[in-house]
Amino acid sequence: MNPSLPNYLKKQEGKRLFDLGDIACAWGALYAKCSFYAGYPITPASEIAEFLSKELPRTGGRFIQMEDEIASMAAIIGAAWAGARSMTATSGPGFSLMQENIGYAVMTETPCVVVNVQRSGPSTGQATKPAQGDMMQARWGTHGDHEMVALCPNSAQECFDLTVRSFDIAHALRVPVLLMLDGEVGHLRETFDLKLPETGLNLPKPPSPSDAPPFGGNPVPPQVLFGEGRYLHVTGSTHKPDGTRDVTTPEVHDQLVRRLCRKVDQNRHALKDVEKDIPRNSKTVVLCYGAPSRPAAAAVEEARKEGLKAGYLRLRTVWPFPGDELEKLPRSVETVLVPEMNLGQMSREAERFTDRKVVCASKVGGVCHTMREILSKLREVS
Amino acid sequence: MDHPLVKYLRPGTIPSTFCPGCGCGMVLNCLLSAIEKKKVDPKDIVMVTGIGCSSWIPSPMFKCDTLHTTHGRAVAFATGVKLMMPDKKVLIIAGDGDLSGIGGNHLVHAAHRNIDLGVMMVNNRIYGMTGGQCSPTTPSDLYTTTTPYGNLDQPMMAAELMVSAGANYVARWTTYHVRQLTKAMEELMQGEGFRFLEIISQCPTHFEKDSKRTPTEILDFYKENSIPVAEAKEAYDGQLGSRLTVGALAERKRDGYMRRLEAVERKLRADMEGEAQKNAAGTREGKK
Amino acid sequence: MKVAPADFPDFAILTPAGTLDSGFRSVKNARFKRPWRDGVSMGKKHEVRILKNNCKGCGICVHYCPKKTLEMSEEFTPKGYHPPEKKKGTECSGCRVCERMCPDFAIFIEEEAQ
């Protein structure tokens, strides 16, 4: 519906704005040529919907508020098969509702972007306060064997950049991409530039259109859409490469599910994006992501001034988890400190990849870590 | 000479997996007859279905773009498809449990929104695919595998619910009335706004566990007990009567969602044009 | 009879009694009295074609044929069902009720030009 950026967006490229992380994310969607948004209001993600409800029609896209998150996820998948670049945004309770249809997007290889601006849970929780409690749910929320791609920004500029990148990944690999903000990053106000990120990931090119089967054969099959005369059969049931259902032949299921997992797994190096500052003789490494990574960076700087040998490893791509970064930590590292706004989710994943001590600096209660808290914990474990 | 409708079928999908005498096959026959009669090009159709025996009616038999989705959510998926493909006929076929049970919320909102979709709810009044559990439309006191002491609920009147929710076209027919059903499907395919067709259909395998009727006995029952709308209103003093009231229950001329959306978009584009021209004129002025 | 709640004028149901049953006033006997509506041509010869591999022996065609030209046969289809067969000495009128009601695309009428 909008193959190229409209003029008024082109003219604004490079402009510097001061606004919420949520709004930066929405601008990123516009610059990523998002053409369809279906959503349901939920704090702290409603701002994304409100912004796009106003701006998306101006770019020729379409916006609709659906009756719940399940319908929102369904609508963006339907729109994707009609050719849209689609997105939705929600928070914890809505994210839980969307899981079945996220699995449908995985199984049917539908490109779409799902933003989760995490908030305190479980259940209604603290509703309006930030947390990072959905990280494992992002990986395993939907049922069945699957891989997931999840990105995690820590600033308004990154909200913009990683939203653009999410669309690129979604269409290159034909997967749903989860953008895991937290309420802190979503609701802070910062300057950000409307500039398309230059250093993208070294992703495979999106599959070019061809007569090859739309659901198999190639590692990433060509994207065929409705209305191209191919009489497409899209189904969440196990299917053969041409799309028709086959639930009785074991090999068909085996091949399909393995290929879907391989799609992400074999690109884990292309998808990896970490910010690393680990000097050779580091004793402690702070592994962080999202909002706590900013006080963590300050804490590492302070700690080094005090003579502590601290390293810093920030994840921008959280899933697939860059376990190889942990495997190749210098010999000198004894502890990995993980400040998270949950009771230990990514720290558990880190434990799988390293034999060093992993300490989780949990903070739940809806307030982000402070520099001093992380610093004192760093001193404690060093 | 081949069966006149075989050209619409994907090769190798007939004979279907439906039970002998299942109403689903009859619905498919009516659908393809309607498409043949109105000379609709399958390239202009997108079928969206859910989960359940009825959702297998077009999928994979009918050769067209098909989106076979999760249980109960077909209407929501179809909304996304329609919004981005306004020129296609987006049609939904699913069962009573799918659409009025788990998907009841989406159904009501789609009718309320009057989104331009055609929904055919094949109502066999049971959950057939999973082995015969009760559904929202199961008759009272019926034995089903999850109501072994008789169904405690009254059956949900899905078509009447759609009338209240504001759908533009609501009709109910049974699989006995193949010709009227075909005609209703023809109307369903080309109207504006939300069109809903409830099709009372037989499930000879699971619904008949107690009564053990044959398919023809069930169809005769529909023939004997269905009442056209006009007669029902007379007989029941203006009310629509029993669940076997057949005919068009409502026809409205509410603006469809797409019409309203496109009007808003036109106005927005005009306003943007005006703004752009004003800015250009302003710049010219400034440059002077 | 117009039902129009004051606040929702466009929700009014435009169903004057008796005009909305798709043109069929009375359902019970309408079908077989107006064969010309469906373009059935009179005066041609009609052959019943039965696709035995598709048939599941449900018996709907046999039961509803108005001329009673069909009966269930003794033979078996590859899946083990009894398909219908045309009774000897009967004439198919070409009404196509069997073709329209069959759930399995297993029976259709071929018109032969005279």
**Chains with ≥3 Cβ pairs under 8 A against C?**
B
In-domain check, residue C4: no
**CATH code for position A366:** 3.40.50.920
> Are residues A5 and A133 both part of a single domain?
yes
**Residue B130: pLDDT band with limits 50, 70, 90:** very high
CA-based nearest residue to B85, from B115, B110, B61, B127 = B115
**Chains with ≥3 Cβ pairs under 8 A against B?**
A, C
Q: What pLDDT is stored for residue A363 in this prediction?
A: 96
For residue A176, the tally of other CB atoms under 10 A from its CB is 32
Looking at residue A142, its amino acid is T
Q: What pLDDT is stored for residue B243 in this prediction?
A: 65
Express as a percent the part of chain B with pLDDT over 70.
Answer: 97
Q: Does A6 touch chain B (CB under 8 A)?
A: no
| Beta carbons of C105 and B215 less than 8 Å apart | no
Beta bridge partners of C49: C108
**Residue A3: pLDDT band with limits 50, 70, 90:** low
Cis peptide before B139 (omega within 30 of 0): no
Strand-strand pairing, A274-277 and A310-315 = antiparallel
Asked whether C and A share 3 or more beta-carbon pairs under 8 angstroms, the answer is: no
Distance CA A74, CA A94 (A): 13
CA-based nearest residue to B20, from C99, C73, C59 = C59
In-domain check, residue C2: no
Q: Residue B195 belongs to what domain range?
A: 6-254
Q: Which residue of A has its CA nearest to B87?
A: A227
| Beta carbons of C17 and B178 less than 8 Å apart | no
In-domain check, residue C3: no
**CATH code for position C56:** 3.30.70.20
Cis peptide before B15 (omega within 30 of 0): yes
| Beta carbons of B247 and C59 less than 8 Å apart | no
- For chain A positions 270-289, those within 8 Å of chain B (CB to CB) are none
**Number of separate domains in chain A:** 2
In-domain check, residue C33: yes
**Residue A119: pLDDT band with limits 50, 70, 90:** very high
Quote the DSSP letter at residue B76: H
Q: Residue C59 belongs to what domain range?
A: 9-112
- List, for residues C79-96, the tens digit of each pLDDT value: 999 999 999 999 999 999
Which residue would you say has higher pLDDT here, A210 or A323? A323
Q: Does B179 touch chain C (CB under 8 A)?
A: yes
Q: Are A115 and A181 in contact (CB under 8 A)?
A: yes
Distance CA A284, CA A266 (A): 30
- List, for residues B173-229, the tens digit of each pLDDT value: 999 999 999 999 999 999 899 999 999 999 999 999 888 999 999 999 999 999 898
CA-based nearest residue to B170, from B159, B161, B179, B184 = B159
Looking at residue B237, its amino acid is D
Nearest to B226 among C20, C27, C56 (CB): C27
> Are residues B274 and B196 both part of a single domain?
no
**Number of separate domains in chain B:** 2
Distance CA B205, CA C74 (A): 23
- List, for residues B84-107, the tens digit of each pLDDT value: 999 999 999 999 999 999 999 999
* Residue in this structure with the two tokens 């939907």, named with its chain if needed: A142
Q: Does B191 touch chain A (CB under 8 A)?
A: no
Instruction: Answer whether residue C16 shows pLDDT above 60.
Output: no
CA-based nearest residue to B52, from B106, B108, B92 = B92
Q: Mean of the per-residue pLDDT values for chain A?
A: 95
| Beta carbons of A226 and B46 less than 8 Å apart | yes
CA-based nearest residue to C83, from C44, C53, C108, C103 = C53
User: Quick one: average pLDDT of A199-214?
Assistant: 81
Asked which of A2-6, A130-134, A169-173, A323-327 is least confident by mean pLDDT, the reply is A2-6
**CATH code for position B56:** 3.40.50.970
Quote the DSSP letter at residue B7: G
- List, for residues B13-51, the tens digit of each pLDDT value: 999 999 999 999 999 999 999 999 999 999 999 999 999
Quote the DSSP letter at residue B256: P
> Are residues B138 and B264 both part of a single domain?
no
> Are residues A259 and A292 both part of a single domain?
no
User: Quick one: average pLDDT of B74-83?
Assistant: 98
The CA angle A292-A293-A297, to the nearest 5 degrees, is 125
Q: Does C45 touch chain B (CB under 8 A)?
A: no
**Number of separate domains in chain C:** 1
Instruction: Answer whether residue C11 shows pLDDT above 70.
Output: no
Q: Are A105 and A235 in contact (CB under 8 A)?
A: no
> Are residues A328 and A302 both part of a single domain?
yes
Pick among A101, A231, A244 to test the B interface (most B CBs inside 10 A): A231
CA-based nearest residue to B52, from B110, B102, B118 = B102
ipTM: 0.94
- List, for residues B141-150, the tens digit of each pLDDT value: 999 999 999 9
Q: Residue A338 belongs to what domain range?
A: 273-381
> Are residues A218 and A238 both part of a single domain?
yes
| Beta carbons of B80 and A233 less than 8 Å apart | no
User: Quick one: average pLDDT of B155-169?
Assistant: 93
| Beta carbons of B84 and A36 less than 8 Å apart | yes
**Residue C41: pLDDT band with limits 50, 70, 90:** low
| Beta carbons of B76 and A75 less than 8 Å apart | yes
- List, for residues A307-346, the tens digit of each pLDDT value: 999 999 999 999 999 999 999 999 999 999 999 999 999 9
Distance CA B74, CA A112 (A): 18
| Alpha helix ranges (H) inside chain C | 27-33, 60-64, 97-101
A54 phi and psi angles, rounded to 5 deg: -85, -45
- List, for residues B215-270, the tens digit of each pLDDT value: 999 999 999 999 898 888 777 776 666 668 999 999 999 999 999 999 999 999 99
| Beta carbons of A82 and B84 less than 8 Å apart | yes
Q: Is C46 helix (H, G, I), strand (E, B) or coil?
A: strand
Look up the pTM and report it.
0.92
> Are residues B226 and B201 both part of a single domain?
yes
Instruction: Answer whether residue A17 shows pLDDT above 70.
Output: yes
Q: What pLDDT is stored for residue B211 in this prediction?
A: 85
| Beta carbons of B59 and A233 less than 8 Å apart | yes
DSSP H or E run through A233: strand A233-235
> Are residues A188 and A293 both part of a single domain?
no
CA A218 to chain centroid, in Å, comes to 25
Handedness of CA A210, A213, A218, A219 (dihedral sign): positive
> Are residues A235 and A333 both part of a single domain?
no
